[in-house]
Amino acid sequence: MKAGVLALQGDVEEHIQAFKKAAQELGISIEVIQVKKPQDLREIATLAIPGGESTTIGALAKRTGLLDVLRDAIKEGLPTLGTCAGAIFLAKEVRDSVVGETKQPILGLMDIAVIRNAFGRQRESFEVDLQVGELGTVRAVFIRAPAFIKAWGDARLAASLKHPELGQIYAAAFQGHMVATAFHPELSTTVVHKYMLNLAKK
């Protein structure tokens, strides 16, 4: 099986290692490729969109001709994980905690509303154990993380936590073959990447 990591910007290497470790634990052989060009998408059975700068990832995807091809591939059923900036990129509604509407290029595929930079700056990073739906308890690492505040259609929110200003928010969302996390699972666990590999096998 081939897994892909969108390699335009962000913590690409960490996702590559998480996929490899997850495959090892599942006892399946895997090749992980860096997705940089539209044709790379034809080869893969699952995709991770890493954390980084969501505006940069969107702008580079547009410039490299990946934005529409990526959107089509995911619409057609490519199992896709978006973490942190990747989750923002997947969402249909994006606002920034400071500047409001962002007008950034997004895929706009998941029926979720996301607030960027909901947890402040890098120095306000934190870790917490969260119950993430069917994935069980996950050690969640938050770094300049977004917050999921609403879902509709067949999207489901999971991993609830209290936010000082926003009240009840969520750190994960599931919709068919798409998974979004506000945290960075690639830094602490293989459970999310194993879930994606199992989705890809179906």
Give the active site residue among 14, 15, 84, 193. 84
As a residue count, the chain comes to: 202
Nearest to 39, CA basis, from 63, 70, 13, 9: 70
CA-based nearest residue to 117, from 157, 147, 158, 82 = 147
Given 14, 15, 177, 186, the catalytic residue: 186
The whole-angstrom separation of Cα 196 and Cα 47 is 8
Handedness of CA 13, 19, 24, 30 (dihedral sign): negative
**Closest among 70, 73, 80 to 105, alpha carbons compared:** 70
Q: Which one from 15, 177, 184, 193 is the annotated catalytic residue?
A: 184
Q: What angle do CA 111, 117, 160 make, to 5 degrees?
A: 55
CA distances from 129 to 157, 161, 191, 195 (A): 16, 10, 13, 18
Task: Determine whether 84 is an active site residue.
Answer: yes
Active site residue 186: yes
Class of residue 92 by CB neighbours under 10 A (exposed 0-12, middle 13-18, buried 19+):
middle
Q: Is 163 a catalytic residue?
A: no
CB-based contact 39:10 (threshold 8 Å): no
- Which residue bears the tokens 């947890």? 119
Please identify every residue annotated as catalytic: 84, 184, 186
